[in-house]
Structure 1
Amino acid sequence: MRLPPFKLERYFAKYEFSARYLLCSSDCESLLVSDLLALEPGADESLKRHWLGYTESTGAPSLRKEIANIYDSITPGQVLVHSGAQEAIFLFMHAALQPGDHVIVHWPCYQSLFEVARGIGCEISFWEARAENGWALDLDELKRMLRPNTRAVIVNTPHNPTGTLMPRPDFLALNALCAEHSLSQERSLLLFSDEVYRELEYDPADRLPSACDLNPLAVSLGVMSKSYGLAGLRIGWIATRNADIYNRMAALKDYTTICNSAPSEFLAELALRHRAALAARNLQIIQSNLARLDDFFSRRADRFAWVRPKAGPIAFPRLLKGDVETFCDELVHESGVLLLPGSMYDHPGNHFRVGFARKNMPSALAQLEQFLNQHTI
């Protein structure tokens, strides 16, 4: 199996730690270790006494218990902890798919959500979200794409990079469709639901149930990096009632990381006991910065168009004048402000990703304004 370069990650490797302002980050403002330990009395002493030997391959039982509390029907034994979401994506694809399988992928998307399957030898069809439709997905289009050999549907909601959120009726219908299709085929149709931005809905009433709670064959993906702003812990997980896929992924993990970092599991468990407060903190940053973006895009309607996001810390505006790659390149080199061109998603629409869950976002936006004032078209 040979995988091509991961365009988005190679772009970030070039600029993430040299650009002064990251105006395209997909995660939320992070914390110091001391901030996290301050959430509970005695946590710092407990960390000092934490054993640094091997951990359980499936994840510490107490951590899996905290993760299970996120869901309605999931037990700790149905949670498999990974070293970030990327490992979970990789192992799901290898556990679930075989050459010749057909996979339908919500697009634009994070490259590994289709590239790993393609590397295995699967046929990929893109279920495209379009700006002219508010980035909404068309379920009738999905139905027309289904084949006898369709093995998996990959969906991401809240969505990277557009910030759209699937309406509840559509999400329920998607899960029902996958279950219905499974009844007519020799192999089940699996739904892999990337839910890493769940709990960052601007209106809590819009929050969707997890796919793993709706569909016994579905696999839900979660991570500490996004909604909770703790990317440095490198802790992700899947939750599923699908015992076959769970066991296959657990066995494959012996070939990747074997087990997770003991300090990271300790800190992730601590954070999840306070996950509501962490998500609320990040939502406050998002809402404050989103108001600034509303004003910015209103005033700059001659240069940009956007579909306002409904959840999460990112959106996918369109540059109306000029080439987006040239624009982003000049911006980062002249002003130190990093935006992510949509070409990193292989998207042809002259879009770029903007991220707005960092505290220094107002300063980054001011630098962008200054750049625009100096580069009138």
Structure 2
Amino acid sequence: MAELLALADSDAQQRWDALRLSYTETQGLPALREAVAAVHYSSIRADQLVVAAPQELALLAPGDRVVCTVPGYQSLYEVAASLGCEVVPWRLRSAADGSLAFRMEDAEALIGGAHPPKLVVVNSPHNPSGFQFSQGEWQRLVELCRSAGAYLFSDEMYRWLELDSAARLPAAADAYEQGISLTGCSKATGGPGLRIGWVATRDAALLGRILELKDYTTICSSAPSEVLALIMLRNWDALVQQRLAIIRTNLDALDAFFERWRHVFAWRRPAAGTVAFPRLTTDEPIETWCAQLVEETGVLLMPSTVYGQPECTAEGRFRLGFGRTNMPEVLAHLEAWLEQRYPAERAAAAGS
């Protein structure tokens, strides 16, 4: 908190000092929305943004068809399912070289078929794989949605954490007139405790429905969180670079770690974000393996069984986060456990 407040300009500091713990504007603090529009979008205005918005509830009705990338953050598809929608999975695929991708031929069949969806939900950069669409794939996805008359909802929480900034995709709200972008302060700038995110869209009717629904649900955001988020937005690039420095350092450590343990794991460096989806290659049940690891060391790796995707479970995949500065300590605990569990594999790796 003190580190963030030290970054405040005079306007933000004055807002903080004069802060009242009263209701805020339903759409969000105007200065915050102006900062979001300036940092994140090329064609979105401040009045086309809603802070902390219930967007799926405003868009969907029972029976609507929704195509959603899976595995992923559960609410991206479970909210639609809870509303009585038909949720059609767009599945993550493994290639022969071990890379992971959402294939465009699958999108062609799911979106461009005889039963087009009302909504396509994607997450890029993707949690948990670290996959990111290419510029060409992103453009093709927009074209498919436009031809189908479908909305494109894009979870862009990990946007800005691309290892190659040239690979950063345009926000869905900029790329498509029926695009909806979800972003926030949780990932790129490391502020999940603020609980501040926003939705951007050029669809005025949808934006109006979102605001109406927010009036009946959450009403408004936290006043302190909005000012702290404003400070983050006004220092966005510097905070993102801090996060990227941590990520690159941790990825270098993970590259070396998985090379040492190549007889036990299959690893590919992700393209973006703070999570990866490596494989355990020993044929042990991944859920049992992860449970034993956390019980014996306190190191939590999320087994792919939690996503309910049999293909990922069959491959022995697990979710690994690397966005924090304690990675050396975590890897030390993990490596000590592995050395006891796999002495033969460690010896083989050392001798090869």
Does the 8 Å CA contact 2:183/2:199 hold for their aligned counterparts? Answer: yes
| Paired residue type of 2:43 | S
CA offsets, 1:128-178, max 9 Å, x none? 111226222222221212343510100100000000111110001101111
1:139 maps to what in 2?
Answer: 104
Distance 1:123 1:304 in 2: 36
Distance 2:117 2:144 in 1: 13
1:9 maps to what in 2?
Answer: none
User: Which region of structure 1 is more displaced relative to structure 2, 233-242 or 246-255?
Assistant: 246-255
Distance 1:262 1:215 in 2: 32
2:28 maps to what in 1?
Answer: 59
| Paired residue type of 1:250 | L
Does the 8 Å CA contact 2:15/2:227 hold for their aligned counterparts? Answer: no
| Aligned-pair Cα RMSD in Å | 1.4
Distance 1:289 1:256 in 2: 40
Does the 8 Å CA contact 1:202/1:311 hold for their aligned counterparts? Answer: yes
1:373 maps to what in 2?
Answer: 339
1:329 maps to what in 2?
Answer: 291
Distance 1:71 1:44 in 2: 25
2:75 maps to what in 1?
Answer: 112
Map 1:1-377; keep pairs closer than 5 Å: 33-40=1-8, 46-69=15-38, 70-82=40-52, 88=53, 91-132=54-95, 134-146=99-111, 147-148=114-115, 150-182=117-149, 189-321=150-282, 322-348=284-310, 349=313, 350-376=316-342
| Paired residue type of 2:5 | L
SS of 1:145's partner is helix
Distance 2:301 2:161 in 1: 21
Deviation at residue 307 of structure 1 after TM alignment: 2.8
Does the 8 Å CA contact 1:99/1:121 hold for their aligned counterparts? Answer: yes
Distance 1:318 1:176 in 2: 34
Deviation at residue 74 of structure 1 after TM alignment: 0.3
Does the 8 Å CA contact 2:110/2:116 hold for their aligned counterparts? Answer: no
Distance 2:28 2:37 in 1: 12
Distance 2:286 2:103 in 1: 27
Does the 8 Å CA contact 2:303/2:318 hold for their aligned counterparts? Answer: yes
Q: 1:358 to 1:166 in 2, by over 3 A?
A: same
Deviation at residue 109 of structure 1 after TM alignment: 0.9
SS of 1:263's partner is helix
Distance 1:181 1:237 in 2: 26
Stretches of structure 2 that go unaligned for 5 or more consecutive residues are 345-352
Distance 1:41 1:72 in 2: 24
Deviation at residue 41 of structure 1 after TM alignment: 5.3
Distance 1:306 1:254 in 2: 46
Deviation at residue 48 of structure 1 after TM alignment: 2.8
Distance 2:327 2:14 in 1: 35
Stretches of structure 1 that go unaligned for 5 or more consecutive residues are 1-32, 83-87, 183-188
| Paired residue type of 2:199 | I
Does the 8 Å CA contact 2:177/2:203 hold for their aligned counterparts? Answer: yes
Does the 8 Å CA contact 1:131/1:307 hold for their aligned counterparts? Answer: no
CA offsets, 1:204-244, max 9 Å, x none? 11111111111011100001101110000000000110111
| Paired residue type of 1:106 | T
CA offsets, 1:307-364, max 9 Å, x none? 3200011100111121111111111111111111111111332211111110011110
The TM-score normalised by the length of structure 2 is 0.91
Deviation at residue 45 of structure 1 after TM alignment: 5.9
Does the 8 Å CA contact 2:28/2:220 hold for their aligned counterparts? Answer: yes
Distance 1:240 1:118 in 2: 23
**Which gives a bigger RCO, structure 1 or 2 (Cα 8 Å, sep 6+)?**
1
1:186 maps to what in 2?
Answer: none
